[in-house]
Chain A
Amino acid sequence: MAQTKAADHTAVVQIRATQVVQASLAALLGIALFVGVALSSPTAVHNAAHDSRHGISVPCH
C-alpha cells in the first residue's frame, strides 16, 4: 500500500514537473515574440510595428 502511494506521489510530481517545464517554455516563447515585435531594432520591423509600438507605449525612436 505504502509503496503504491509513494509511486503515485512520484508520478504526480513528475507530471507536475513536466507541466512546469512546458508552461515555462510557452511563457519564454511569448516573451521572445513580444521582444521581437515591440523592441527589436531592424528598421523594417520598426517601421511595420511603429504605430503599434507607440500605442502600447514601448520606447520606439
Chain B
Amino acid sequence: MDFFKSILLSALLAGVIAGTALTGLQALKVYPLIFAAEVFEDAGQAESNPVASSHSHEQGNQLASGHKHGDEGEEWAPADGGERLLFSLLANVLIGVALGLVLAAIFALRHVADWRQGVVWGVGGFIAVNLAPAFGLPPELPGMPAGELLARQTWWLATALLTACGIAAVFLSRGMIWRVGGVVLIALPHFIGAPHPATLESGVPANLAADFATASLATNLVFWAILGILTAEIMARLARPSEPELA
C-alpha cells in the first residue's frame, strides 16, 4: 500500500480504538473524580461570587471573571450526562488519531511492525506526553489552583516535545554526545521549572487530587500501550501485501 496512505489508515484505525478504550477507562475512574471536584469548584465559586453559583466550567468561569464577548450570552457546552460523555469520546478519538499519526509516521520510517516494539514506543510516548509534563504540572482537577493558562500550556507542550526529542537522541543515536544531549533535553524544562500558582490553597480535597493524578497517569499508560500495539500491528498488515517478493 502507498506509504502515506498506510500511515493515515493505521493511525485512524488505531486512534479510534485506543481513544474509545481510553474513554471507557476514564468513565470508570477519571470522570467520577472530575465530577466530584466540580462540586467543590462550584461551592468555592458560590462563596466568592454568589452570581456564579449555578454551576460549572462553561458559564461559571465567564460570570466569575466578569466579562462576556459579543452578544452570544452563554457559550455552548455539552449537557451533563450522555452528551458530555459523547464529546469526551470524540475528543479522545481525535487525540488517539493525532498521536497515532506521530507513531505511525515513525513506525513507517523505522519499519516497526511488531506489537512488542509497538508497546515500547507507546511507553516512550507516555513518558514524553504524560509522565514528563506531569512531573512539573501534576494532572489538574477543576477547581485546583494553577498558574497562568498560556504559560502552563507552553511549558507543557515544550516539555513533551523536548522529552520526545531527548528520548530519541538517547535511544536512536550512535554517539555519546547525542546521548548526553538527549539527557540534557529531557532535564532542561524541569530546571527551568513549570509555571506555578500564586497560592496553594485549594477547594478540592487532597485525596481527590492524589486519586486523580494516579488515575489519569495509569489510564494514559494503558491508552499508549493499546495505541502502540495497534498502530504497529495494523501497519504490518497493510504493508505486507505490497512488499516485494524475495524469491
Determine chain A's interface SS by DSSP, over half rule: helix
Check: B91 CB closer than 8 A to any chain A CB.
Answer: yes
For A32, the closest partner residue in chain B by CB is B98
Contact across chains for B57 and A50 when beta carbons are under 8 A apart: yes
Q: Chain B residues with Cβ under 8 A from A55's Cβ?
A: 22, 26, 30-31, 34, 88, 92, 216, 219-220
Pick 15 A–B contacts, CB within 8 A, sort by A.
Answer: A25-B4, A26-B102, A30-B98, A31-B98, A33-B94, A37-B94, A47-B78, A48-B91, A50-B57, A51-B31, A52-B95, A55-B216, A56-B95, A59-B153, A60-B140
Smallest CB separation, A33 vs chain B (Å): 4
Residue of A nearest to B216 (CB): A57
Residues on the B chain within 8 Å of A53, using CB: 91
- State the CA gap A49–B142 with chains docked (Å): 13
Chain B positions 29 through 67: 1 when the CB is less than 8 Å from some CB of chain A, otherwise 0:
011001000000000000000000000011001100000
Residues in B neighbouring A31, C-beta threshold 8 A: 98, 102
For A40, the closest partner residue in chain B by CB is B153
Partner of B220, one of A19, A47, A56: A56
Would you call B187 an interface residue if the criterion is a C-beta within 8 Å of the partner chain's C-beta atoms?
no
Is the CB of A11 closer than 8 A to any CB of chain B? no
Known: A48-B87, A51-B34, A59-B149. A30 touches B100 (CB 8 A): yes
* Least Cβ–Cβ distance between A27 and chain B, in angstroms: 4
Contact flag A43-B75 (CB < 8 Å), given A57-B134, A61-B146:
yes
Q: Chain A, 6-32, contact with B by CB distance < 8 Å: what is the 0/1 string?
A: 000000000000111011111101111
Q: Name the segment of B104-112, B115-123, B171-179, B237-245 touching the other chain.
A: B104-112
A: which residues have CB within 8 A of B? 18-20, 22-27, 29-35, 37-39, 43-44, 46-61
The answer to the question of B180 belonging to the interface, with a C-beta cut-off of 8 Å to chain A, is: no
A26 to chain B, nearest CB (A): 4
Seed contacts A24-B105, A57-B130, A58-B133; 12 additional CB < 8 Å A-B pairs? A19-B3, A27-B101, A33-B94, A47-B58, A48-B87, A48-B90, A52-B23, A54-B216, A55-B34, A55-B88, A55-B92, A55-B219
